[in-house]
Amino acid sequence: RHYGISVIGATGASHLSFLGTGYQATRTSNEVFRDRRRTPTTAAVEQAIGWAQTMNLEIVLKVHVLPGNGNIPGEVDPSNIELWFDSYRAFLLPWAELAESVGAAQFVIGTELQNTISEKELWLDMISGVRAVFSGELTYAASWDEAFRVPFWQELDYVGIDFYFPVTNRKDPGRFEILAGWQPWLRKLQRLHQQTGRRVLFTEIGYRSIDGSGMKPYQFDNFGSLDMLEQADLYWAALQGTADVSWIAGVSWWNWLANNSGGLFNQDYTPKGKPAETILANAWSRE
């Protein structure tokens, strides 16, 4: 695991995001809790952060809430929103305190909780509580189809977006075709930047190493034939599309697994040991 962080540092990365995962029994539950089998312990996170800091990587702590068995944060839909916010605050604030204690640069207060964002006042209260214990930069990680509805961007330091916008409409597209597919989304996101007065931070962006992964990047459970080069081309277009854009604050790739798995037969999102890793290192190591 220490070796994996060293490899991340060698790509030219400047920041490393660590996930704090909470769970709830069902999508409509009102209690967010730590799961002793799946939520990382404070000691484990502190140890991994220590390794990252020896590589001069800035630290980001990002919180996820997962409902039921294998469901995604976007399915969280509490039956009693005030009870849920009370529970989420109790879960969230210790992570914010941990972020402060390790000197994290950024803290992500929530991820893709689209069924809660209409509760602006409750979120503003949550943001105020986090700012009371964490002195770094704050953002929220909105889903790609949620970002334009978030009502509290101006209370945060960045517009955070998990960028899983479709950027192709067919399998095996060329690099410049993919780059062209970025342009409508960049124009929309620039307008969001102008409306909010906040730079855009891609809190996640990722592509699986399968054929057609740029068509529906958000589909993590679909099957496809192995295609390392298409993933690499998608990385290239993303890096080209975001380079030297003043209103884009940065890009955080999803994901590098804690067990350091990857390689040329892996179909998941990780670039580890794949052509995408080379594309990434060639771009970032020159900066």
Q: What is the pLDDT of residues 7-37, one digit of tens each?
A: 898 899 999 999 999 999 999 999 999 999 9
State the pLDDT at residue 286: 63
Tell me the C-alpha distance between 255 and 33, whole Å.
Answer: 24
Using CA atoms, how far residue 187 sits from 161, 181, 184, 191, 204, in Å, is: 15, 11, 5, 6, 19
Tell me the C-alpha distance between 286 and 284, whole Å.
Answer: 5
For residue 151, what are its two tokens? 């009502």
From the number of C-beta atoms within 10 Å of its C-beta (0-12, 13-18, 19+), residue 123 rates as: buried
Name 35's Cβ contacts closer than 8 Å, sequence gap at least 6.
21, 22, 23
| Average pLDDT of the segment spanning 103-119 | 98
The radius of gyration of the chain's CA atoms, rounded to the nearest angstrom, is: 18
The rounded mean pLDDT for the chain is 95
| Average pLDDT of the segment spanning 259-278 | 95
- For residue range 36-79, list pLDDT tens digits in order: 999 999 999 999 999 999 999 999 999 999 998 767 999 999 99
State the pLDDT at residue 3: 62
Tabulate helix, strand, coil % of the chain (nearest 5): 40, 20, 45
What is the distance of C-alpha 264 from the center of its chain?
24
- For residue range 198-249, list pLDDT tens digits in order: 999 999 999 999 999 999 999 988 778 999 999 999 999 999 999 999 999 9
Least confidently predicted of 163-167, 220-224, 271-275: 220-224
**Residue for token pair 């290239």:** 236
Amino acid at 129: G
- Above 90 in pLDDT, residue 4? no
- The size of the chain, in residues, is 287
- Above 80 in pLDDT, residue 162? yes
Q: Answer for the pair 58, 105: CB distance below 8 angstroms, yes or no.
A: yes
**Does 2 or 135 have the greater pLDDT score?**
135
Amino acid at 45: V
- Above 60 in pLDDT, residue 1? no
State the pLDDT at residue 238: 98
- ∠ CA 254-258-263, nearest 5°, is 70
